[in-house]
Chain A
Amino acid sequence: AQTIHQWPVAEIKAVGSPLSLGCTIKGKSSPNLYWYWQATGGTLQQLFYSITVGQVESVVQLNLSASRPKDDQFILSTEKLLLSHSGFYLCAWSPDWVNQDTQYFGPGTRLLVL
Chain B
Amino acid sequence: TQTVSQSDAHVTVFEGDSVELRCNYSYGGSIYLSWYIQHHGHGLQFLLKYYSGNPVVQGVNGFEAEFSKSDSSFHLRKASVHWSDSAVYFCAVTNNAGAKLTFGGGTRLTVRP
Total chain A interface residues with beta-carbon distance under 8 A: 24
| Interface pair A90/B43, CB less than 8 Å apart | yes
Interface string of A35-76 (1 = CB under 8 A from B): 000000011101001010000010100000000000000000
B49 neighbours in A (Cβ, 8 Å) = 101-102
| Interface pair B96/A100, CB less than 8 Å apart | yes
Q: A34 to B102, alpha carbons, bound, how many Å?
A: 13
| Interface pair B94/A101, CB less than 8 Å apart | yes
Q: A100 to B51, alpha carbons, bound, how many Å?
A: 12
Total A-B Cβ pairs within 8 A: 59
B43 neighbours in A (Cβ, 8 Å) = 90, 92, 105-108
Total chain B interface residues with beta-carbon distance under 8 A: 24
Interface string of B89-113 (1 = CB under 8 A from A): 0101010100111111110000000
Is B34 positioned at the interface, with any CB of A under 8 Å from its CB?
Answer: yes
* Chain A proximity of B81: nearest CB distance (Å): 22
Which of B46, B96, B99, B105 makes the CB contact (< 8 A) with A49?
Answer: B99
